[in-house]
Structure 1
Amino acid sequence: MTTDEHAERFTLLRPLLFTIVYEILGSATESDDVLQDSYLRWAEVDLATVRDTRSYLARLVTRQTLNALRASARRREDYVGPWLPEPLLLDDVDPSADVVLAESVSMAMLVLLETLTPDERAVFVLREVFGFGYDEIAAAVGKSVTTVHQVAHRSREHVQARRRRFQPVDVAETMQITERFRTASVTGDMAGLLSLLAPNVTWTADSGGKATAARSPVVGAQKVAGLLIDLFRTGGRMPGMRIQMVNCNNGPAMVARIGDRPEGVLLIEIIDGKITNFYAVRNPDKLVAMTVRRQISR
């Protein structure tokens, strides 16, 4: 077998492999590192021994991902303020085309997956999102099939008990609400903002102590609306600041840029016609990934 065939098989499955790693790690830049390391290992494999390339590579990247996740656990424990996954910049695809994929990379789901142990997270992602068999997952996480069944059941119950009802996205409604939100924020229209926000809307900001941001979540429509108006007023006074609408994690988002440098990303979660959550990423280390549009797949 040639190196070209190794590269061809890996490249074909790369969007799927990236998605697996990102959903377990919550970091696009770390996912790139894991895939690079995984490819080097893959390049040494005798392809004659590989019966199912998809299963083999999923197992390989999952093992490397779990190693990376455990290595980063201490850094997350010492993190200043709330920790949010890195935003994932995507092409403008229709999120209703694959509801399972859209939900699995949503910021709300990734935040929820953070409450699982590394093994629970890997098992949940491989089983519930990608549909791998229990024997394949057992090989990937280094557990018995019986144990994987138990972990899968436990993680599924954990997620179902905590996640909100997820429905196919109404793209037209989402665009309309997002545009009304942008207009109200920029113009300082408090009444307009309040009409768009759920009563218990929550603002969560991730700065890592490296940028100005709230150190704890802000809850309640009045408080969040006031915060937003102040934020947009301040941003409007910064020379060269521009706001761009983008698709992050299969949902609407705004990225603030000065020149080509992203200063922050605001992801917006909309449920039943109301904005329920804002996820603001200000940590410059987590904005590096906003320069590259990603492909995801399952």
Structure 2
Amino acid sequence: MSRHIRAAVPGPGRLRSSARRHDFVVDFEEYRPMLLGLAYRLLGSMWDAEDVVQEAWLRWQGTDRSEIREPRAFLVTVVSRLAIDQLRSARVTREAYTGPWLPEPVMTSEAGPLDTAELRDTVSYATLHMMERLSPPERAVFVLREAFGLPYDEIADIVGSSVANARQMHHRASVRVTEGRDRFRPSSEDHAKLLMKFMDAAAGGDLGALTDLFHDDVEAWNDGGGKVRAALRPIIGKRKVLAFLGGLLARYDFSDARLLDVNGRPAIWTRVAGTHQLVMIDIVDGRIKDIYGVLNPDKLARVHPG
């Protein structure tokens, strides 16, 4: 064997190092969808979630594998703590945001595993929006318990609290997130039917039909981010929401619309006055309780109408 060929063949130590790197990559890629789903629930932004997961990958690479007993638990801890830190700094930015800050919607196919009702509910747009009420530790406790079923002792270690305090945070978070919402969520089919009725009524300018579809306490939220013209405050109450929509329907055509599967639920993709918009709803007592309109183009980058 020539000297050049011999030099190209790794020795035993190099082989072990190469295999170790391969194992690290394989292990991490196995958990990546779950980690992205976790970070997205904690941050409400897939852009930020990807940054957090990338940082977790770098830390994973720099950690002695012999010190890691449970890779999944290690990675969940790292991602959760990074996301909590990110969320603390993000809250300052969101408070200075132009108009209401709404989560970044994602196609259901890109939201990570959704093989349990808890995973599906915690990635729903309404739940993500309600979680904005929580402090970063409360949000982490809620997500880790509700979506991923972690025991309180592990959650307490992740967020740096006592087990008793973790339990209290979970209780407070659960009350705030579920306040005013149905205990039993409508099926995707029922959700889609009500959304189609809303879309048809809007396309036909039928305010009477819209009145029948709305909950008395309906609220409309619009996120233009200062880049697209949108209401700068939430619109609260059936009368005000109908007046707002009536003004829009009198000026713009809403007929060009289609259904997309977003955040585990059907949503409307439409174009109004030359601007793309994604409209999502939440349902209480069989009627539309919340309307979310995302117009900020930066937040629509992951929506693919096909």
**TM bracket (short chain):** 0.7 to 0.9
What CA distance in whole angstroms lies between the structure 2 residues aligned with 1:92 and 1:57?
20
Aligned positions of 1:232-251 closer than 5 A: 234-236=251-253, 242-251=256-265
In structure 2, give the amino acid aligned to 1:284. Answer: P
1:235-291 Cα deviation digits (max 9, x unpaired): 539xxx942311222222112359xx9722111112332111101112222222324
What CA distance in whole angstroms lies between the structure 1 residues aligned with 2:177 and 2:282?
18
Kindly indicate whether the alpha-carbon contact (under 8 Å) linking 1:137 and 1:148 is maintained by their aligned counterparts in 2.
yes
1:103-132 Cα deviation digits (max 9, x unpaired): 212222222211111111111111222111
Q: Which residue of 2 aligns with 1:114?
A: 132
What CA distance in whole angstroms lies between the structure 2 residues aligned with 1:185 and 1:92?
29
SS of structure 1 residue aligned to 2:303: helix
Aligned positions of 1:79-118 closer than 5 A: 79-91=97-109, 98-118=116-136
Kindly indicate whether the alpha-carbon contact (under 8 Å) linking 1:186 and 1:229 is maintained by their aligned counterparts in 2.
no
Counterpart among 197, 204, 213 of residue 187 in structure 1: 204
What CA distance in whole angstroms lies between the structure 1 residues aligned with 2:256 and 2:54?
34
What CA distance in whole angstroms lies between the structure 1 residues aligned with 2:230 and 2:43?
23
Distance 1:65 1:271, change over 3 A: same
Distance 1:88 1:145, change over 3 A: same
Q: Which residue of 2 aligns with 1:68?
A: 86
Q: Which residue of 2 aligns with 1:268?
A: 281
Counterpart among 222, 225, 234 of residue 217 in structure 1: 234
Counterpart among 209, 219, 234 of residue 202 in structure 1: 219
TM-score when normalising by structure 2: 0.82
In structure 2, give the amino acid aligned to 1:253. Answer: A
What CA distance in whole angstroms lies between the structure 2 residues aligned with 1:275 and 1:92?
26
Structure 1 unpaired stretches of 5+ = 294-298
Q: Which moved more, 1:130-139 or 1:283-292?
A: 283-292
1:41-91 Cα deviation digits (max 9, x unpaired): 112222232222221110010111112111212111211221111112214
SS of structure 2 residue aligned to 1:70: helix
What CA distance in whole angstroms lies between the structure 2 residues aligned with 1:60 and 1:155?
22
Q: Which residue of 2 aligns with 1:296?
A: none
Counterpart among 41, 54, 78 of residue 23 in structure 1: 41
Aligned positions of 1:161-172 closer than 5 A: 162-172=179-189
Distance 1:20 1:282, change over 3 A: same
Distance 1:151 1:277, change over 3 A: closer
Kindly indicate whether the alpha-carbon contact (under 8 Å) linking 1:269 and 1:275 is maintained by their aligned counterparts in 2.
yes
Kindly indicate whether the alpha-carbon contact (under 8 Å) linking 1:81 and 1:215 is maintained by their aligned counterparts in 2.
yes
What CA distance in whole angstroms lies between the structure 2 residues aligned with 1:227 and 1:20?
36
Counterpart among 53, 57, 72 of residue 54 in structure 1: 72
Query: Radius of gyration: which is bigger?
Result: 2
TM-score when normalising by structure 1: 0.84
What CA distance in whole angstroms lies between the structure 2 residues aligned with 1:163 and 1:15?
31
The Cα of 1:234 is off from its aligned counterpart by 4.4
Distance 1:176 1:57, change over 3 A: same
Percent identical residues: 35
Q: Which residue of 2 aligns with 1:174?
A: 191
Distance 1:266 1:37, change over 3 A: same
What CA distance in whole angstroms lies between the structure 1 residues aligned with 2:34 and 2:303?
20
The Cα of 1:198 is off from its aligned counterpart by 1.7
SS of structure 2 residue aligned to 1:2: helix
Distance 1:207 1:151, change over 3 A: same
SS of structure 2 residue aligned to 1:139: helix
What CA distance in whole angstroms lies between the structure 2 residues aligned with 1:183 and 1:142?
50
What CA distance in whole angstroms lies between the structure 2 residues aligned with 1:17 and 1:109?
18
Q: Which residue of 2 aligns with 1:280?
A: 293
Kindly indicate whether the alpha-carbon contact (under 8 Å) linking 2:142 and 2:170 is maintained by their aligned counterparts in 1.
yes
Report whether the alignment pairs 1:40 with 2:58.
yes
Q: Which moved more, 1:9-18 or 1:168-177?
A: 168-177
1:145-203 Cα deviation digits (max 9, x unpaired): 4443443344334445x241231432332222222221111121222222222222111
